[in-house]
Amino acid sequence: MYAAGIFYLSSGPSPDIPPPFPNFDKVVHVTLYTGFSFFVARAVCFQWKEISRMTLWLTIAISSLYGLSDEIHQFFVPTRSCDVLDWCADVVGSVLGVFVFSAYRYSLLKCRFKKSIN
Span 66-90, average pLDDT: 96
pLDDT band at 114 (very low <50, low <70, confident <90, very high): low
| Count of beta carbons in the 10 Å neighbourhood of residue 77 | 14
pLDDT at 113: 60
Spatial neighbors of 6 by CB under 8 A, at least 6 apart, are 32, 36, 66, 70
pLDDT band at 118 (very low <50, low <70, confident <90, very high): low
Span 100-109, average pLDDT: 86
Q: Indicate whether 29 pLDDT > 90.
A: yes
pLDDT at 8: 95
Spatial neighbors of 19 by CB under 8 A, at least 6 apart, are 25
The torsion defined by the Cα of 110, 113, 117 and 118, in degrees rounded to 10, comes to 60
Which DSSP state fits 117?
Answer: H
pLDDT at 90: 98
